[in-house]
Amino acid sequence: MTAAMSGSNTAPPVLSVNGLTKAFGSRRAVDDVSFEISPGETYGLLGPNGAGKTTTISMIAGLLKPDSGHIRLCGFEDGPTRREARAHLGLVPQDLAIYPDLTARENLVLFGRLQGIPRRRLRERADEVLDVIGLSDRSGDLTKEYSGGMKRRLNIGIGLLHQPDLLILDEPTVGVDPQSRNAILESVEALSREGLALLYTTHYMEEAERLCDRIGIVDQGSMVAEGTVDELLRITGEADAVSLSGSGSVLEATRALGKANGVVAASGDGTTISLTVADAPTHLASLLATAAREGMAVTDVDVSRPDLEDVFLHLTGRALRD
């Protein structure tokens, strides 16, 4: 991934978003969001459901008009409104966007024709894409007979067909089995290696960590932090994550531990307590004592280096996944 990034400092960004804002009624779905994506870069928008990821993407793809803000897309000012700019953009919507009564190949050909790809070139290109998404031997079947994972892969393939400069993937792994999920992640990595710029949204921090060169963390419409994974992890002050599981007065223990020495943040769900601790080895004994004093019987302790989940917790005081 870093190889793909080389030279990105000089080339103009494929996407540059500035002060993007969109409200639905009184609710600000996207609030003053700004970021840039360089050629070949994989940029992640990480945030929980309802954070405003799809709304942001809809504005970039020209499906929604921003209330304010500015989008420069593939060298075009106000890009989303321009057909020339949209021609350089590939969109993989969060909801499946394929025709059930057409075969995979017919879907590809239909969207390819609408992209203006000449017939003969399109035939080759459809073969290439079918190969990439692993659907070559099922290309003649109606897509309504496909499994969820196969539909997802075709959904991605259609976005790739016209070899865009920027491919937007909106939560492409939601609702698929682990095996298909891995296949999707692998093909996204392959695309990135080929030098395609990607905008990838997800609420799975492992995916963001695995795929993205840079990540913007979004919550309630706002971008709360941005950077490489390492940069983001540093935000927590290199704190460790401590997780205590057990029974008894877990909620009371959570509250007490939140105020304990060395604890930066605490959250709990009734059986497990997640703590962000400045220096776990030093504080662990006293934390366990606090838990015991509050009436919690700890059965399992887990200490780990911080991850993006902790970063999110640190920044927002809430867990990434609800």
Partner 1 sequence: MAEDHRTSDVAAIGVMVAGDLRQRIRDRTVFIFALVVPLALMVVFNAVFGGMNPEKLSGVRVTLVSEANDAAAGGLAGALADLDSMEVDLTRLPHSDPNAATPKLKTAVEDDKVDVAITVPADFTRSLGTGGQPRVTVVRRGGIEPQIIALVVEGFVSRAAAAAKAASVAGAEGLAPATIAQVALRVADSPPTLDVADREAPPGQLSTQGALVAGQAAFFMFFTIGFGVVAYLEERELGTLPRLRSLPISPHTVMTAKAVVSFILGVVATAVLLLLGVILFDLRYENLLTVGVVVVVSVAAVTASSLVVVRVARTAEQAQMITAILGVVLGILGGSFFQLTGTGFFARLADLTPTAAFIRGVGVGADGGGIADAAAPLTFLLGFGAISVVAAVLLPDRSPAR
Ligand X SMILES: Nc1ncnc2c1ncn2[C@@H]1O[C@H](COP(=O)(O)OP(=O)(O)O)[C@@H](O)[C@H]1O
Residues that bind partner 1 (CB under 8 A): 58, 61-64, 83-84, 86-89, 91, 93, 95-102, 106, 110-111, 113-118, 121, 142, 158, 162-165, 195-196
User: 210, 317 in Cβ contact below 8 A?
Assistant: no
Q: Least CB distance from residue 321 to ligand X, whole Å?
A: 12
Query: By C-beta, is 57 or 277 nearer to ligand X?
Result: 57
User: Does 63 contact ligand X by CB under 6 A?
Assistant: no
Residue 195 interacts, among ligand X, partner 1, Mg ion, none and using kind-specific CB cut-offs from 5 to 8 Å, with partner 1
Helix (H) or strand (E) holding 299: strand 296-304
Instruction: Compute the radius of gyration of the chain from its Cα atoms.
Output: 22
User: Does 61 contact ligand X by CB under 6 A?
Assistant: no
User: Does 236 contact ligand X by CB under 6 A?
Assistant: no
Q: Least CB distance from residue 127 to ligand X, whole Å?
A: 33
Query: By C-beta, is 96 or 292 nearer to partner 1?
Result: 96
Residue 105 interacts, among partner 1, Mg ion, ligand X, none and using kind-specific CB cut-offs from 5 to 8 Å, with none
Residues 6+ apart with CB under 8 A from 65: 59
Report the distance separating Cα 153 and Cα 135, nearest Å: 8
User: Does 55 contact ligand X by CB under 6 A?
Assistant: yes
Helix (H) or strand (E) holding 211: helix 205-211
Altogether, the residues listed in the chain come to a count of 322
Among 38, 54, 143, 173, binds Mg ion (CB under 5 A): 54
User: Does 216 contact ligand X by CB under 6 A?
Assistant: no
Report the distance separating Cα 6 and Cα 1, nearest Å: 9
Alpha helix ranges (H) inside 133-177:
148-160
User: Does 24 contact ligand X by CB under 6 A?
Assistant: yes
User: Does 42 contact Mg ion by CB under 5 A?
Assistant: no
CA 265 to chain centre: 24
Pairing of strands 240-248, 296-304: antiparallel
Interface contacts to ligand X, rule CB under 6 A: 24, 27, 29, 47, 49-55
